């Protein structure tokens, strides 16, 4: 079987091995693939892996040998799944691999907002402490989280992991999800409606998928229902937030701070209003990227193809 990886660099910049995938066929790995290279690089391959390189209906029509598409991510909107189904191409994704990493990162953003550790470390190295009149100093309000309410929108695996860590910090957890989880998963947490969560939370963390009904979930109207000085976290999907509305709320002080690992267009564009907003921490979509997490992704990606070759495909999204 001929196998092509179109954009392998973000998954494996050199610290992992492709050997397990290589054992399943004749493997070619490209770090990145431009739009005008996609068809030629797939060529007569039977299996292709993609992370963010789109596979359109036109590409599928131009590559008739293709039988399997492995998405190196959970989201699979970069593949025309309906067209793949029409062509008899199986599409498999990676449903769960970075749960602990993403939950950890959400709390890391929150702690940075609360303590500005990076800033104060830099201040010390710049000599400000040694030249300070007092034995300590701080440039931002320092925030204790114990006793505060964290509202988690989207109470799946990652939402629950974030809740567990926040609860260990002494926070009270308000949870909202379009589908109520099993009561056993809610033990120690308060499941509530969205409006109540918005009005009662000191911190709101987004962990829901991007669907038409969740796009723009955080907007001028929902922000108006929040507490003054709320903190908003998003390392789920950028389009969950109307970015100009959040920027306006940050600049007015309605929202105290935001921690974002995702934005609506990635890489971020220079005219994104959040780049100039007050108290807005932005990182380049790296919640998922610890080596341990990427190794799990690799293992699942290999197993997806192995099971396809056995005639028993798993994690199929093109049903």
CA distance 92 to 76: 9
Q: Which residues of 3-14 are buried (b: 16+ CB within 10 A; e: fewer)?
A: bbbbbbebbbee
Integer Cα distance of 180 and 50 in angstroms: 33
Assess whether 187 carries a catalytic annotation: no
- Computed over its alpha carbons, how large is the radius of gyration of the chain? 22
Catalytic residue among 86, 144, 266, 292: 266
Q: Which of 144, 166, 162 is nearest to 153 (CA)?
A: 162
Catalytic residue at 237? yes
The catalytically annotated residue of 112, 285, 303, 306 is: 285
What gap in Å lies between CA 210 and CA 160, rounded to an integer?
18
Q: Residues 160, 237, 294, 296: which is the catalytic one? A: 237
User: Is 266 an annotated catalytic residue?
Assistant: yes
Residues with a known catalytic role = 237, 266, 285
């Amino acid at each position: 079987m001929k196998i092509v990886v179109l954009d392998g660099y973000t998954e494996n910049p050199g610290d992992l091995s492709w050997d397990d995938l290589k054992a399943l066929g004749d493997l070619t790995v490209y770090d990145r693939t431009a739009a005008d290279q996609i068809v030629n690089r797939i060529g007569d391959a039977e299996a292709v892996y993609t992370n963010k390189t789109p596979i359109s209906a036109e590409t599928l029509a131009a590559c008739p040998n293709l039988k399997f598409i492995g998405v190196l991510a959970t989201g699979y909107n970069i593949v025309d799944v309906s067209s793949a189904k029409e062509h008899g191409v199986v599409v498999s994704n990676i449903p769960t691999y970075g749960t602990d990493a993403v939950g950890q990162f959400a709390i890391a953003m929150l702690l940075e907002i609360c303590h500005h550790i990076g800033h104060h470390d830099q201040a010390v190295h710049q000599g400000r402490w040694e030249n300070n009149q007092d034995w300590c100093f701080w440039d931002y309000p320092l925030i204790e989280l114990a006793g505060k309410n964290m509202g988690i929108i989207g109470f799946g695996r990652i939402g629950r992991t974030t809740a567990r860590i926040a609860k260990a910090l002494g926070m009270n957890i308000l949870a909202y999800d379009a589908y109520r989880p099993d009561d056993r998963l809610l033990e120690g947490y308060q499941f509530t409606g969205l409006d109540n969560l918005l009005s009662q939370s000191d911190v709101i963390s987004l962990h829901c998928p991007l669907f038409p009904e969740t796009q723009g979930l955080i907007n001028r109207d929902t922000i108006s229902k929040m507490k003054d000085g709320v903190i908003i976290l998003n390392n789920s999907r950028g389009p969950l937030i109307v970015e100009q509305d959040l920027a306006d709320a940050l600049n007015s002080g309605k929202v105290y701070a935001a921690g974002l690992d995702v934005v609506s267009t990635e890489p971020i564009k220079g005219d994104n209003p959040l780049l100039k907003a007050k108290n807005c921490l932005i990182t380049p979509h790296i919640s998922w990227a610890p080596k341990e997490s990427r190794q799990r992704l690799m293992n699942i990606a290999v197993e997806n193809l192995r099971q396809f070759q056995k005639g028993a495909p798993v994690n199929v999204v093109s049903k």
